[in-house]
Each structure stands twice: as structure tokens, then as C-alpha cells.
């Protein structure tokens, strides 16, 4: 009768434990994400706020109603986005000067099919909802589109995926499969095949 190899067995057990731990971590992340999504879902019902002098980076303003004043548009850019009707195209985002100092604000002033659509908006009061752009910078999505543009799709917490349960199942499955394959290999070895 052959002996069970110690080092390979320890390696497989350690790998399976590590995968199971990753599965448990994903379960914990699932609950954290559910709490975050619940907070985001409640945000549109809260009272509107004014654009802060220094926007927080903790996500506490995401999906809140907000208003700000753009003294002067300083830089326009076009980013891929959707209209409120769901059409694909370009969001027109402007960086605004809000005072003599400070970070200013980024505003999605509307959507068009043309990334080079000239926008004649010169600033003023803007109201809308807070979203975060691809760099996690707060972005005010304006309710009213600038002249020549259509309103952009409003941000929604429903668009945020919560895949942590699927990830947890994957890690637990990987751990189980590794143990089953190793058990089959040991069984074959013990039989002398």
C-alpha cells in the first residue's frame, strides 16, 4: 500500500482553504454591497443639497439631488453615454469655474449623437443628480440639457452590479473541485494505477 504524499496534500488543502476564504470574503462583500445599494436607493428621496466647496470623496452624495452655479464653462469633453430614451451616443461634460478658488464642478450638460456637437451654453444655475464618472469624480447630471443637446440618462443605483454571490459560489466550487480531483488522484495512486 502506498503512502499519502504529505507535501502535495498540504498544498492542495492550503489552496482549498484559501479558495474557501475568498468565498467567505465575497459573502461579506455581498452584504456590504447590499447596504451600499440601499443607501444609494434612498438618496434621491433626501432633500436636495448645494454643490459643496470641496466635494467629499466618500460617495455620500451619490444619487442625491443637487444644485450648483457654473460661473464659467472652462473645458468641454465628450464621453460615451446614453440619452434618457436609451440611445447610445455622447455625453457632453463641462468643467465649470464655481469661484475664485476650489475644485469647481463637472457637469453633464446633455447628450447627442455627435461627439463634436458645438455647445453654446455659457453657464448659470444647474440642478440635477450626482453621479460619479469613470475616475470616481463627482459629476452633476443636469436635468435641463444645454441648447442643441438632449438630456442624458439619469444615474441610477440599479445600474450597479452586485455579483458577489456568484463570485462566492465560484470560489467555493473551485475549492470543492480541487479537493475532489485530488481525492480521485489519491484513490488512483492507492490502487497502484
**Helix ranges, the chain (H):** 6-42, 164-191
Tens digit of pLDDT for each residue in 92-109?
A: 999 999 886 666 899 999
Q: Which residue has the higher pLDDT, 59 or 23?
A: 23
Task: Calculate the alpha carbon distances from 100 to 23, 97, 105 in Å.
Answer: 50, 8, 13
The answer to whether residues 87 and 107 belong to one domain is yes
Q: Which has the closest alpha carbon to 93: 106, 80, 74?
A: 106
Q: Rank 74-88, 132-146, 169-183 by mean pLDDT and report only the highest.
A: 169-183
Domain extent at residue 26: 6-37+162-191
Q: What is the dihedral of CA 37, 129, 115, 94, to 10 degrees?
A: -120
In a domain, 59, yes or no: no
pLDDT of 135 above 80: no
Tens digit of pLDDT for each residue in 1-30?
A: 578 899 999 999 999 999 999 999 999 999
In a domain, 122, yes or no: yes
Measured CA to CA, the distance from residue 49 to residue 35 in angstroms comes to 22
Q: Note the pLDDT of residue 85.
A: 92
The answer to whether residues 83 and 107 belong to one domain is yes
In a domain, 110, yes or no: yes
Quick one: average pLDDT of 171-189? 95
Neighbouring CB atoms inside 10 A of 59's CB total: 15
In a domain, 187, yes or no: yes
The answer to whether residues 151 and 70 belong to one domain is yes
In a domain, 50, yes or no: no
Per-residue exposure over 130-156, b if at least 16 CB sit within 10 Å of its own CB, e if not: bbbeeeeebbbbbeebbeebebbbebe
The answer to whether residues 130 and 172 belong to one domain is no
Whether this prediction's pTM lies above 0.85 is answered by no
The answer to whether residues 151 and 107 belong to one domain is yes
Q: What percent of the chain has pLDDT over 90?
A: 71
Radius of gyration of the chain (CA): 26
User: What does the block give as the cell for 171?
Assistant: 470560489
In a domain, 124, yes or no: yes
The answer to whether residues 73 and 151 belong to one domain is yes
Q: 177: which strand partners? A: none
Q: What percent of the chain has pLDDT over 70?
A: 95
Taking a C-beta distance cutoff of 8 angstroms, is the pair 73, 126 a contact? no
What domain count does the chain have?
2
Q: Please give the span between the terminal C-alpha atoms of the chain, in angstroms, as a whole number.
A: 12
Amino acid at each position: 500500500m502506498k503512502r499519502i504524499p504529505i507535501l502535495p496534500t498540504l498544498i492542495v488543502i492550503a489552496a482549498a482553504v484559501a479558495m474557501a476564504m475568498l468565498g467567505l470574503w465575497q459573502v461579506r462583500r455581498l452584504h456590504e454591497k447590499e447596504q451600499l445599494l440601499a443607501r444609494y436607493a434612498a438618496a434621491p428621496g433626501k432633500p436636495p443639497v448645494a454643490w459643496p466647496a470641496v466635494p467629499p470623496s466618500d460617495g455620500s452624495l451619490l444619487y442625491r439631488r443637487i444644485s450648483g452655479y457654473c460661473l464659467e464653462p472652462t473645458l468641454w469633453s465628450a464621453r460615451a453615454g446614453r440619452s434618457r430614451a436609451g440611445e447610445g451616443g455622447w455625453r457632453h461634460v463641462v468643467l465649470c469655474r464655481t469661484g475664485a478658488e476650489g475644485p469647481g464642478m463637472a457637469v453633464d450638460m446633455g447628450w447627442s449623437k455627435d461627439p463634436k456637437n458645438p455647445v453654446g451654453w455659457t453657464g448659470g444655475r444647474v440642478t440635477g443628480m450626482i453621479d460619479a464618472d469613470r475616475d470616481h469624480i463627482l459629476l452633476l447630471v443636469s436635468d435641463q440639457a444645454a441648447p442643441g443637446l438632449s438630456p442624458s440618462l439619469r444615474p441610477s443605483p440599479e445600474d450597479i452590479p452586485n455579483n458577489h454571490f456568484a463570485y462566492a459560489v465560484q470560489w467555493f466550487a473551485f475549492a470543492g473541485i480541487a479537493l475532489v480531483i485530488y481525492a480521485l488522484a489519491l484513490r488512483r495512486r492507492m490502487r497502484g494505477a
